[in-house]
Structure 1
Amino acid sequence: MEYPHYKGHKLINGNDLYYEYYKNESSSRTVVLIHGFLSSTFSFRRLVPLLQEEYNVLSVDLPPFGNSGKSTQFVYSYENMAKSVIALTQQLGIEQFILIGHSMGGQISLNIAYMQPELVEKAILLCSSGYLERSKQSLILLSHLPFFHLFVKRHLAKSGVLKNLQNVVYRQELIDEEMFHGYMKPFLEEQIFKGLTRLLRDREGDLPENVLQKIETPCLLIWGEQDKVVPLHIGKRLKKDLKNAKLVVLQETGHLVPEERPEEVFSHIKEFIEGA
């Protein structure tokens, strides 16, 4: 069945926020998808068709990724990104929602749940970032150099899109041309590297234990057993620190769970959302 699908931009906190909104008139629930580092709404392309059969779905490109703005005046902190997502939902008239955050998007989801818990019915964290400290002061100081963004570009070019995909996917046969070009596309635009420089500078550390322990939002943690980027022990630690959390581990799965196991991930999400 075809559902109304809106693509749009909103100017929020001085930056352009791109979103895709799938409306399901038979559902009163909305899930908000927040992608990870070096990614975009593209990473949820296999999960969205399953979710939209049951719920309204809002997928957001976090600045400076995807089709969102790359303003060098924007504060690329997790707190500000979380506030920007909240502002977007308010502009779209969404009063309450369920968060689904992958990797860095999981950390931003936790920020939202901590800042405005009344907005978040439940949260699903897919291989969520956790316990990362802020960048070293020396690196933050270097980021102020006028041409530092070129060092960022060179560093990312050195690792390469293919190598990064091989690191985040357990089943290597899943890497095809569509996936490769989808993850490479954002980095063909020069301005993104200036935004990444600001992100490196503005990103505060992940939420510490004492803050995580204050979050009461029901959380489902879905992890790939072979995740090399955010290892399973991070998921186990988050489960311990979050008051109301359940952990599901997917075997023979890496970091990119929405790409690798969309049907299984959806099944766990639906069971969690519909459960008491």
Structure 2
Amino acid sequence: MWSLLALVVLAITVVVAMNWAPDQPVQKLQDRWATAPSRFVSVNGMQVHVRDEGWAQDPVPVLLIHGTSSSLHTWERWAKDLKADHRVISFDLPGFGLTGPAPDNDYSIAAYLRFVQNLMDTLGVKKAIIAGNSLGGEIAWRFAAEMPLRVEKLILLDASGYDFKPQSVPVGFQIARIPILAWPMDFLLPKSTMEDSVRDVYGNPDKVTPELIERYTAMTVRAGNRAALRKRLRQLQAGEQAALIKDVRVPTLILWGGKDKLIPPEYAERFHQDIAGSKLIMFDELGHVPQEENPVVTLAAVKIFIQ
């Protein structure tokens, strides 16, 4: 009996040792993930990770908003190209990336709208072309519906907003929803869990590289982000304001991955129907993060739309 118990304890010890990944302070991650032109801007009591690039005098900058558990890095290829002709602003939302958790633990869409408004004010942006992916897409269209005078054009990439029914949910999101796993989740992060989660949002999982897994892992273990994700998911009310989508009156481009299993393509059609005059482009081979999976082809459509 004692031998069996010893083996169990040994097995648990080995598993914990192999998957040990406690929170990391933001200062430890900055050298690798906040290189120039990154800077930190004070907004709503947070030090927000921002990249503000390109034509500084641009009267209508391009504002890029990432999705759940992502970061401004998802837009790097877009920003590199767009900054030749535009001012391009990307940033880490509260609860994600290097910005980290919100002091008030409010991760409602209303709180994110106030945050984006205050960030724009801080950066001196009166009006912007706003693009958003997933959660960032919901923030973008809600902003356009409620503050249309501050939005020149809108670009939605696999946006949330309806009470959608996923075909598949990344395993990391599934774990974050289970209260009993909350404490272990703050200290353990199996490499396979992160890899499976990222592969799940790509149309072609073979495009997921070790470098990509390293980045998503670093953003996950930023101090406070795992707890913030749990709080965000508890505050999630899918489809609560879907009726407002019809209030969007700015020119809108909808880009969608035909292989998106998290928010399937049928919801792209609903956005297209509900937003008058919108244009929809479906990328049959891409998944939930088309701007990251194939920045070249997605950006080509965007440049035509905004220029």
Query: 1: distance between equivalents of 2:131 and 2:102?
Result: 26
Distance change in 2, residues 1:156/1:216 (3 Å): farther
Q: Greater Rg, structure 1 or structure 2?
A: 2
**Offset at residue 125 of structure 1 (A):** 0.5
- Partner AA of 1:189 in structure 2: R
- 1:201 paired to 2:240: no
Q: Deviations over 1:55-78 (max 9, x none)?
A: 110001001100103145231111
Gap change, CA 1:190 and 1:17, over 3 Å in 2: closer
Question: Judging changes above 3 Å, is the alpha-carbon distance between structure 1 residues 151 and 202 closer, same or farther for their aligned structure 2 residues?
Answer: farther
Task: State the one-letter code of the partner of 1:44.
Answer: W
- 2:136 aligns with 105
- The reply on whether 1:266 has 2:278 as its aligned counterpart is no
Q: Structure 2 stretches of 5 or more lacking a match?
A: 1-35, 165-175
Q: How has the CA–CA distance of structure 1 residues 168 and 13 changed in structure 2, closer, same or farther, with 3 Å as cutoff?
A: same
How far apart are 1:200 and its partner, in Å?
2.3
Which runs of structure 2 are paired with 1:120-199 in the superposition (5 Å)?
A: 120-132=151-163, 149-150=182-183, 153=186, 160-199=193-232
Report the CA distance between 1:122 and its aligned residue: 0.5
User: Partner amino acid for 1:232?
Assistant: P
The alignment partner of 1:45 has SS state of helix
Give SS of 1:213's match. Answer: helix
Q: Structure 1 length normalisation: TM-score?
A: 0.85
> In 1, Cα distance between the equivalents of 2:144 and 2:269?
19
Q: Percent identity?
A: 28
Structure 1: runs of 5+ lacking an equivalent: 134-142
Q: Choose the corresponding residue for 1:114, options 145, 148, 170.
A: 145
Distance 1:41 1:190 in 2: 17
CA contact (8 A) 2:61 2:128 kept: yes
2:7 paired residue number? none
Q: Shift of the alpha carbon at 1:249?
A: 0.6
Tell whether the 8 Å contact from 1:148 to 1:197 is kept in structure 2 after alignment. no
Deviations 1:186-208 (A, max 9, x none): 12234212212321233343453
User: 1:1-276 counterparts in 2 under 5 A?
Assistant: 6-25=37-56, 27-132=58-163, 149-150=182-183, 153=186, 160-206=193-239, 208-274=241-307
Contact 2:54 2:84 in 1 (8 A): no
Residue 204 to residue 151, structure 1, CA distance change in 2 (3 Å): farther
- How many aligned residue pairs are there? 260
Amino acid in the other structure paired with 2:150 = L
CA contact 2:142–2:245 (8 Å) conserved in 1: no
User: How many Å separate the matches in 1 of 2:285 and 2:262?
Assistant: 15
